[in-house]
Copies of this chain bind each other. A is one copy, B any other.
Amino acid sequence: MTTAAPDDSFHVFDTTLRDGAQREGINLSVADKLTIARHLDDFGVGFIEGGWPGANPRDTEFFERARTELDLRHAQLVAFGATRRAGVRAADDPQVRALADSGAPVVTVVAKSHDRHVELALRTTLEENLEMVADTVAYLRERGCRVFVDCEHFFDGYQANAEYAKRVARRAHEAGAAVVVLCDTNGGMLPAQVQAVVRTVAADTGARLGIHAQDDTGCAVANTLAAVDGGATHVQCTANGYGERVGNANLFPVVAALQLKYGRTVVPPAALPEMTRISHAIAEVVNLTPSTHEPYVGVSAFAHKAGLHASAIKVDPDLYQHIDPDAVGNSMRMLVSDMAGRASVELKGKELGYDLAGDRELVGRVVERVKEQELRGYTYEAADASFELLLRDEVHRAASGEGGEGGAPRFFRVESWRAIVEDRPDGTHANEATVRLWAKGERAVATGEGNGPVNALDRALRVALERIYPELARLELVDYKVRILAGTHGTESTTRVLISTSDGAGEWSTVGVADNVIAASWQALDDAYTYGLLRAGVSPTE
Whether the Cβ atoms of A186 and B452 lie closer than 8 Å is no
CA distance A261 to B287 in the complex (A): 35
Which of B24, B31, B217, B292 is A486 in contact with, Cβ under 8 Å? B31
Asked if A527 lies at the interface with its beta carbon under 8 angstroms from chain B, I say no
Which of B114, B191, B453 is A225 in contact with, Cβ under 8 Å? B191
Assess A482 versus B479: contact at CB under 8 Å? Given A300-B245, A381-B25.
no
Binds B, one of A99-107, A125-133, A416-424, A466-474: A416-424
Interface string of A219-260 (1 = CB under 8 A from B): 101110110010000000000000011110010010011000
Asked if A499 lies at the interface with its beta carbon under 8 angstroms from chain B, I say yes
- Oligomer: number of copies: 2
Distance to closest chain B CB from A375 (angstroms): 10
Whether the Cβ atoms of A421 and B518 lie closer than 8 Å is yes
For the complex of A and B, the 10 pairs showing the least CB-CB separation, nearest first, are A477-B490, A188-B322, A452-B516, A222-B222, A218-B253, A121-B312, A218-B295, A418-B422, A451-B515, A218-B221
Whether the Cβ atoms of B321 and A186 lie closer than 8 Å is yes
CA distance A156 to B318 in the complex (A): 11
Asked if A429 lies at the interface with its beta carbon under 8 angstroms from chain B, I say yes
Residues of B within 8 A of A244 (CB): 303-306
CA distance A320 to B381 in the complex (A): 41
Which of B222, B455, B481, B493 is A219 in contact with, Cβ under 8 Å? B222
Distance to closest chain B CB from A97 (angstroms): 19
Residues of B within 8 A of A322 (CB): 156, 186-188, 216-217
Assess A315 versus B120: contact at CB under 8 Å? Given A245-B302, A336-B24.
yes
22 cross-chain CB contacts under 8 A = A22-B305, A24-B335, A29-B485, A121-B312, A187-B322, A188-B322, A190-B222, A190-B257, A191-B191, A192-B226, A217-B295, A218-B222, A219-B219, A244-B304, A414-B423, A451-B515, A452-B491, A452-B519, A454-B517, A455-B491, A482-B484, A491-B521
CA distance A416 to B429 in the complex (A): 10
Assess A516 versus B120: contact at CB under 8 Å? Given A190-B222, A322-B217, A382-B25.
no
Asked if A276 lies at the interface with its beta carbon under 8 angstroms from chain B, I say no
Distance to closest chain B CB from A80 (angstroms): 12
Whether the Cβ atoms of A519 and B423 lie closer than 8 Å is yes
CA distance A320 to B157 in the complex (A): 12
Can you name the residue of chain B whose Cβ is closest to the Cβ of A57?
B375
Asked if A431 lies at the interface with its beta carbon under 8 angstroms from chain B, I say yes
Interface residues of A (CB under 8 A from B): 22-25, 27, 29, 31, 56, 114, 116-117, 120-121, 153, 156, 186-188, 190-192, 215-219, 221-223, 225-226, 229, 244-247, 250, 253, 256-257, 261, 287, 292-296, 298, 300-306, 309, 311-312, 315-316, 319-323, 335-336, 338-339, 379, 381-382, 414, 416-425, 429, 431, 450-455, 458, 476-493, 495, 499-501, 514-519, 521-522
Whether the Cβ atoms of A515 and B452 lie closer than 8 Å is yes
Residue of A336, A450, A514, A517 with most partner-chain B CB within 10 A:
A517
Which of B335, B423, B458, B481 is A522 in contact with, Cβ under 8 Å? B423
Distance to closest chain B CB from A499 (angstroms): 7
Distance to closest chain B CB from A131 (angstroms): 21
CA distance A518 to B491 in the complex (A): 11
CA distance A419 to B518 in the complex (A): 11
